A and B are shown apart, each in its own frame.
Chain A
Amino acid sequence: MPSPRYIREIPARYRLEAGRCAGCGRVVYPVRKVCPACGGQDFELVLLSRKGTVVTSTVIHVPPDEFLNEAPYAMAVVETPEGARLMTQIVDCDPASVLPGMLVDLEFRLIREEKKSGILCYGHKGVPAGT
């Protein structure tokens, strides 16, 4: 993953910046030009809460090359209280315990390293709530 594109993703990945549609109230993460619910184009900046509920999950046993050292690891679609959903790894627990309905906190973590002396890439990972 080449570095130049990385900077564009920082607001969403580091600060969990999302947009609340002025037309219908839908929270869209990351923010985009057109609301997928109503077609509106006016958004107010919102920061997602750093917590949520697991909607669905898996445990990756056969990982991409960049994640070889971490497998097996749990991944989940997490819904925040604002109704936005994001894909995250769920760590600091038994991967088998990550199931729909689990409450998680979202923490700022190292996600991956670019190959060939590239940069370190950050974002959020889920951990069991209250830990």
Chain B
Amino acid sequence: MREVAVIGTGITRFGELWEASLRDLCVEAALGALTSAGADTLDSIYVGNMSAGLFVGQEHLAPLMADYLGLGGVPATRVESACASGGMALRSAFLEVASGMSDLVLAAGVEKMNDGADVTGVLATASDQELEVYYGVTFPGLYAMVARAHMEKYGTTEEDLSWVSVKAHRNGARNPNAQFRRLISLEDVMTSTMVAEPLRMLHCSPVTDGAAAVLLCPLERAKEFTDRPVKILGSGAATSTLSLTHRKDPADLDVVELSGRRAYEMAGVTPDDIQVAEVHDCFAIAEICCYEALGFVEPGKGKDAARDGVTDLGGKIPVNISGGLKAKGHPVGATGIAQAVTLVEQLRGEAGESQVEGARIGLAQNMGGSGASSVVHIFQGV
């Protein structure tokens, strides 16, 4: 396999973008990635997208994006793995370059969630329709059950969850692209509207429009496009059961552990080597599970990390420095690519007031459904 580098990135503002369409968003992010690398051709395109069909009634997204990007004729494929669609699109692009099949491959992610669709219903399609949704459970409800199982097993509290949200907003306030750029207090979180016990509104990521894109090429050609390529050291993906009822233990996201282990192995690094991470905090409990599953802390210690500042800027391992899904926003299919954009910025030392000093190695973890799919990428500044 060839070594692969990220040579360009593009991202849109995240939020309720009523003036922007699905195709506008994707093209804006993709052009950003091409322009930043000075590239005007592509060998291939992957578009991560969860559910344009249900959100805006548009399937067959990949050729549409290629055409609107002015690159009609280029092979293009849409990749779907629910909220992990972006990360899986990145993995597909990585594999295509690593294999030697193509040199210049774009991985984009996009979701247009605010266009009038029943968002709760669309998101629920990531869980089991016959065994879960039929009986009236919602997507937040499933993560609420993970949270309660985690509380039962490890003594995690609602306050522990809430510190994760407080940290997310502190980080999001520094991110010019974030949906929510304001601080929230512990009390704000713990008195916000109950969604699915024990999860309140401020434990949940918002409904977001947005897109992101990264351009990949073989490491040996990277200097043609940029002085600061970022190498992809490893990619690990895994699956678990779609339905929470079939999960070995609903308290742990086993899929994160497995995808992380595979990425660490491929990259030849350990959790101690990771200096900055973006993880899939669709709900505050997911971030706590990720701390443990990715080996940043011991199992059962995830509950203390956000409160103690371990995962804060300046802490042992800053996590979701972008604001995470909670504050930056979560356009589901774009999230996995947006995580990569954040890490590339960090590893190039271009993150301004959000910069993790001296960061050389970073990790991104992107999850689908209530933990049925997960993909982890490890990056290194060159």
Q: Is the CB of B136 within 8 A of A56?
A: no
Surface stretch bound by A, among B127-135, B166-174, B334-342: B127-135
- Chain B contacts for A30, CB-based, 8 A: 130-131
Q: Is the CB of B136 within 8 A of A85?
A: no
- Chain B contacts for A96, CB-based, 8 A: 197
12 A-B pairs whose Cβ atoms sit less than 8 Å apart in the complex = A30-B131, A56-B148, A56-B149, A58-B137, A58-B144, A61-B196, A63-B138, A64-B120, A64-B124, A85-B245, A100-B148, A121-B134
- Chain B contacts for A76, CB-based, 8 A: 145
Kindly supply a per-residue 1/0 record for chain A positions 63-76, scoring 1 wherever the CB is within 8 Å of any chain B CB and 0 otherwise: 11111001011011
CB nearest neighbor in B for A85: B245
Q: Is the CB of B136 within 8 A of A86?
A: no
- Chain B contacts for A59, CB-based, 8 A: 194, 196-197
Which of A9, A36, A61, A64 touches B197 (beta carbons < 8 Å)?
A: A61
Q: Is the CB of B118 within 8 A of A65?
A: yes
- Chain A contacts for B129, CB-based, 8 A: 1
Q: Which residues of B contact A (CB under 8 A)?
A: 118, 120-121, 124, 129-138, 140-141, 144-146, 148-149, 152, 193-199, 241, 243-246, 250-251
Report Cα–Cα, A36/B246, bound state, in Å: 9
- Chain A contacts for B250, CB-based, 8 A: 55-56, 77
User: Chain A, interface size: which category?
Assistant: 35 or more
Chain A, 71-105, CB within 8 A of any chain B CB: 72-73, 75-77, 85-89, 96, 99-100
Given the known inter-chain contacts A55-B250, A87-B132, A87-B243, please indicate yes or no for A61 contacting B121, CB distance below 8 A. Answer: no
B45, chain A: closest CB distance, angstroms: 34
Which of B121, B137, B195 touches A87 (beta carbons < 8 Å)?
A: B137
Report Cα–Cα, A128/B371, bound state, in Å: 29
A120 at the A/B interface (Cβ < 8 Å)?
no
CB nearest neighbor in B for A8: B130
A7 at the A/B interface (Cβ < 8 Å)?
no
CB nearest neighbor in A for B128: A87
A25, chain B: closest CB distance, angstroms: 17
- Chain B contacts for A72, CB-based, 8 A: 194
Report Cα–Cα, A55/B244, bound state, in Å: 11
A20, chain B: closest CB distance, angstroms: 16
- Chain A contacts for B198, CB-based, 8 A: 58
Q: Is the CB of B137 within 8 A of A60?
A: yes
B354, chain A: closest CB distance, angstroms: 32
Report Cα–Cα, A67/B135, bound state, in Å: 9
Q: Is the CB of B148 within 8 A of A87?
A: no
A104, chain B: closest CB distance, angstroms: 14
Report Cα–Cα, A121/B136, bound state, in Å: 12
CB nearest neighbor in A for B204: A62
Q: Is the CB of B148 within 8 A of A9?
A: no
B372, chain A: closest CB distance, angstroms: 13
A24 at the A/B interface (Cβ < 8 Å)?
no
CB nearest neighbor in A for B127: A87
Report Cα–Cα, A65/B121, bound state, in Å: 8
B136, chain A: closest CB distance, angstroms: 4
Q: Is the CB of B134 within 8 A of A86?
A: no
A98, chain B: closest CB distance, angstroms: 10
Q: Is the CB of B135 within 8 A of A111?
A: yes
